Amino acid sequence: MTSADAALGNNWYAAAPYLMPQSNNPPDPVTVMNATGIKAFQLAFILAPNGGGCTPTWDGTTAITSETVVSNAISRIRANGGDVSVSVGGYGGTKLGQTCGTPAATAAAYQQVITKYSLKAIDFDLEEPEYENTTAVANELGAAKILQANNPGLFVSVTMPGTSAGTGWFGTQLLDQAKSIGFTPNNFSIMPFDGGFNGGSSQVAALEAFHGLLMSHLGWDSPTAYAHEGFSGMNGKSDVSEMFYQADFQTVLDYALSHKLGRFTFWAVNRDRACVGTTDNSVCSNVAQKDWDFTKFSVQFAGATPPTSSPTTTPMTTPTSSPTTTPTPPAGCAAPAWSRTAVYTNGNVVSYAGHRYSAKWWTQGEVPGTTGEWGVWKDDGVC
């Protein structure tokens, strides 16, 4: 398997969307990379064996020592200039934190995964029922701290359920446990879906509430809390029939970028395509879209411009073709007029309605002066 000697920057691990490489009709990762510009994937999930034990498997069924499918996928991703993080836990199956007796034993199991795949990043997705088991959570967080110490530079994310209050009681207990053992991951991420959410604005409100919890439970100031906060969304139709469209992802992305959040990811690339001949929610999004629309938001978070086509920003419409580059114009009213079809990146300047605007990140089709304080356009004043 190709080595990860040339690791990516942490911005790519922070933006890596989830991908199940063995199930849920996995797409070809190289096809997704070439179509979107994404460079990293969050491969899911490492679990305990379905029959019990403290050895790592994929999906509870395939021992990492004997599998070939995931290894081949990782080799192809790396050969194409990318890399992977691996996610442990998830919603289903038995977690290693439940079956390994101590943090040290749990860490030893995960170290096998890090070593086999030469990992530079790992995600602890702590969900039910492990999430509600204080011993299991202590094993997972303790293991994460050990892995941090034994693998210098390892990017570690911790993902947990989200609520309108940011996270629930078990989530705040998790934060308290992390503080008590002196463990600080690169980020704590919440999943604001499957909990009565209604679009991007409700997710932003949950993230803002979680920001407050990070400050109050971990003793962080506001910038530190934002820098260690992450979003893990669900594209399209959620498990409880909430609907999250491309426009909702744009709303959350704008918030994440303007507040300098530490992570932006989603579940899952397997679902990032329109439903054709099936409504199986595990393999398609159940919303109108082009293939990989949602993955392109992760690319924007990482700070890159997706190749050629751009993400759809409303449920039913798709932008027309656009230029791949936009020159940076001179200051003042000499700036060219804003164009709905042009692609703009950080530092590009336009004029619109008598004002000069500077782009803060990649954008297309967002009207200057209409997206508020979290929007892409900085108003430089009247020109």
What residues act catalytically? 127
Cα 113 from Cα 122, distance rounded (Å): 9
SS3 255: helix
For CA atoms 161, 164, 168, 174, give the dihedral sign.
positive
Measured over the CA atoms of residue 132, residue 133, residue 136 and residue 140, the dihedral's sign is positive
Question: Which residues make Cβ contacts (< 8 Å) with residue 329, sequence separation at least 6?
Answer: 335, 336, 348, 349, 350
Residues in the chain, total? 383
State the Cα–Cα distance between residues 15 and 23, nearest whole angstrom.
Answer: 22
Contact in structure between 46 and 110 (CB atoms under 8 Å): yes
- Name residue 163's beta-bridge partners: 166
Q: Cα(144)–Cα(158) distance, rounded to whole angstroms?
A: 9
